[in-house]
A and B are shown apart, each in its own frame.
Chain A
Amino acid sequence: MTPATSLDSLLRVLPEGRVVTDPDVTDSYARDRTFLTPGRALGVVLARTRDDVVATMRWATEHRVPVVPRGAGTGLAGGATAVEGGLLLSLARMTDIRELSPADEIAVVEPGVINADLDRAARAHGLMYAPDPSSYEISTIGGNLATNAGGLRCVKYGVTRDSTLGLEVVLPDGRVLNTGRRTVKGVTGYDLTGLFVGSEGTLGVITAATVRLQRAPAAPPATVAAEFPTLRQAAEAVAAVIAAGCRPSLLELLDRATLKAIDDWRNIGLDPDTAAMLIAQSDTPDGQAVAERMAALFDECGASFVAASSTPQEADELIGVRRMAYEAKERLGACLVEDVCVPRSRLPEMISAIEAAAVRHDVLICTVAHAGDGNLHPVFVFDHGLPEPPPQVWAAADEVFRAALDLGGTLTGEHGVGLLKRRWLDLETGPVGREVQLGIKQVFDPLGIMNPGKAIQN
């Protein structure tokens, strides 16, 4: 089968303008935000309707062509990277919010809706869409679902899975599957919704989702920030806040390397003795009192500087610093972004392990963490000119992964396995787990055309 003829038959089953083969355009759909080099794709389908997706998948099944679904391509694990000879299927143009019911606190959305757009639509009714990855202004709900994205608020409000009630999915052979329900509770049959969330496009294409909305807090959150002379003290302060039952709505940690990258770029007046910064918020009606309690705990844990922000603008600036972290690091070099998660009490040890790996392998590692969840993002920075991370970066990353698993943790808290973490997955799932995972993939995708090579070890 030559690519040209095969795409002809695809063109016939899709409306005009849905398929693009111009390499300049297809290239822009071939990568996510990792350094990974994509394979050459046959073309891109820019789906606008579920029927487009159905036609595409039927065609792909008939011709045994691999399909890589994608949202906005902001992924950090290589999940949306083009595979050689495959088709790219962009859902980014399916942007309808089909329904928003304030009374049932649910919305039915298409996969291309940008996370922040859904949140804004909900806010108009006093509601919010809780999961808020740092990429919320640029990533899609479909991508969030496929990776089970977390975010800043999930320490209090849960991850994407916790907000997902039901899905409409197009299976690899083009059949449409509805999972889940519109009710808050339900236990009818096996939980297929749970299987699709986090499956990284390897089981089917999500074409609509029924998601749960939550009440937006009445008042803007109260915010505290603290600086610490050592990373460990900051990590201990996190444990203290959780143990005290403060239930922060946000609890983020930035290490010195990250703060320095931000300072070099935006000059935030970084103190030379600061090794880490914590930012915490409480959005309860008595948030100010909770913020004060957290401030006191930070003090007790040895903070060199503690400040409560008195205005929402000040708070926004602080959160702005956190949201700048990734861009600041990208200015330093190419980034391998990791995503380990450990039981919260092991945070200090995990941070020590990351520091040790950085020193031992002489690698620059900048770490931010959704600290309240025990979820750390050590970012390994390497020379922009290199096509992929040099051996010492992989060696350091390997050490970090193993340390996380030794501490009872997991390889990935929210970004997914994609291509990047496959070789470590076996360490976590074990041989029986791996067999079951492969078996499930077979049930949904017997031909192996759905985002092959991603997410699970085969």
Chain B
Amino acid sequence: MTTSVELTWVSALRAGLASDMVHDDADTLERHSRDSAPFSPAGTPAVVVTPETAEQVRHVLRVAHAHGVPVVPQGARTGLAGAANADDGCIVLSLLRMNRILEIDRGNRLVRCEPGVTNRGLSDAVAAHGLFFPPDPASWNDCTIGGNIAVGAGGLCCVKYGVTADYVLGLSVVLADGELVRTGRRTVKGVAGYDLTRLFVGSEGTLGVIVEATLSLRPAPGPSLAMLAQFPSATAAGEAVAAIIGRGHVPSALELMDQVTTRAVADVGHPMLSGDAAATLIVECDDRDPAAEVAAIAELCRTAGAVAVTVAADQEESKRVLDARRLVLPALQRQAASLPGRPTAFIEDVAVPRTRLAEFIDRIALIAAEHDLYISTVGHAGDGNLHPTVVFDQADPSAFARAERAYDAIMEAGLALGGTITGEHGVGILKREWLRRELDPGALRIQQGIKNLLDPEGVLNPGKVLA
């Protein structure tokens, strides 16, 4: 049933959009109600809109602003913090149809694109020009550039190449009242005025809707080689990480898997992995002489106490080494599938100073034992960014409650080690309460002030990031 008030704004919305851009069938509404995070509440949108131009996005925001209707911007809904979850009666603004690459400029190594391009689509397009867009979240096949920018996404090769924020030169953003603002520039450097670009990066759709991005690129890296080392303890693996960084190696991936993860991947049948090791390190190098570099790193791993080291001799073997990391998610899904009810594998995201990595992994193992839970931890070790993944049955109230408590304990431990509650997935709904724990009250007040400034009516993704 729709009230006449709703009809007013919905018809106003329709007036500026093509008929196939406004959706209110139950199926579409349901599909767009949440992202990929459990725990966080989600409502049912009144409509889902799929505009194709910035002007249409402006129209949507003008209508929403005038009628005080909340707008939830969405990319591919692969987010893991509930940041793209719908509110009851809101407008879900899907950017998926704005998926054009507008310009690839080889000379200046930059690309200009719309927000709905997938990470993979962009990467492939620029690769055809010998260029490279490094941020590579594991969800790259589906997730959008707009979503990557809005959360400040990371990925495997960030240890060497940096995160999404490091590649955003400029943005076009539609503000809450429908005004369009361009931030940043096409140049490598620039300091004119406050850095609004950085402000929008990571703002999770709460300050404006990104309708275009200018991103910097790198030349494609040379061929890479990988290696894998297994350790008798997390501490030994942590020492290897410290030694690798300390010697000045700059691997293009430096991933750590704890005991539980190692076993899960070995169980799905990875030939190079022994399921008994306490920790596994996977390293990839793409510098000029990757063979020499992986050999040197292998030596450092042995010195740190590695029990088994496999160095790839060629690209083929490298691929197989890296498969061990790629298999983590399927392995955990298989683990989940063995559970009854509504099983899920919930990927957490905490970052600690690199030196506290081993300590953190050991704490997580304790937390798992205490709460009688299956927790697998993998991490971008070079960045100190870990993803503890809790596999549990959401339909089992006891498991659900234990998972929630364990999740709190993990956040707590991360903060206690000088860390941060999210390295790359964002705050969304999931970590709103934790944001208050991490930020001091002054910072919170300023954050709220910025939100009020850019969205005085509170229509943009309300209730996310700042409660």
Contact = CB atoms under 8 A, between A and B. Distances in A.
Interface of A: 101-106, 126, 147-148, 150, 154-155, 158-159, 161-162, 171, 175-179, 181-192, 194-195, 197-199, 203, 215, 218, 239, 242-243, 245, 247, 284-286, 341-345, 370, 373-375, 408-417, 421, 425, 428-430, 432-433, 436-437, 439-444, 455-456
A413 B192 CA distance: 8
B450 A411 contact: no
A154 B188 CA distance: 10
Query: Which range holds the interface residue count of chain B?
Result: 35 or more
Given A187-B152, A443-B446, A181 B179 contact: no
Nearest to B159: A184
B427 interface: yes
Contacts of B420: 181, 183, 185-186, 188
B424 A187 contact: yes
B442 A188 contact: no
Contacts of A374: 187-189
Contacts of B353: 101, 104, 106, 182-183
B351 interface: yes
B196 A343 contact: no
Contacts of B193: 417, 425, 428-429, 433, 437, 455-456
Contacts of B147: none
B271 to A, nearest CB: 32
Interface of B is mostly: loop
Interface in B447-467: 447, 449-451, 453-454, 465-466
A179 B187 contact: no
B189 A413 contact: yes
B443 A183 contact: no
Contacts of A104: 353-355
A456 B207 CA distance: 21
Given A194-B199, A410-B190, A429-B193, A183 B447 contact: no
Contact of B450 (A190, A284, A370): A190
A442 B453 contact: yes
Contacts of B175: 432, 436
B146 interface: no
Given A176-B442, A188-B422, A436-B454, A197 B385 contact: no
Nearest to A247: B219
Contact of B158 (A182, A185, A421, A433): A185
Contacts of B412: none
Given A410-B192, A417-B193, 18 more contacts: A104-B355, A105-B245, A105-B354, A106-B353, A177-B446, A178-B440, A186-B422, A188-B421, A190-B199, A190-B465, A195-B195, A203-B194, A286-B289, A370-B189, A412-B192, A413-B191, A430-B181, A439-B454
Given A183-B423, A430-B182, A188 B438 contact: yes
A432 B152 CA distance: 24
Given A374-B188, A410-B185, A413-B189, A437 B449 contact: no
Interface stretch (B30-38, B105-113, B316-324, B364-372): B105-113
Given A344-B188, A412-B192, A433 B424 contact: no
A342 to B, nearest CB: 6
A456 B194 CA distance: 8
Contacts of B183: 433
Contacts of A408: 185-187
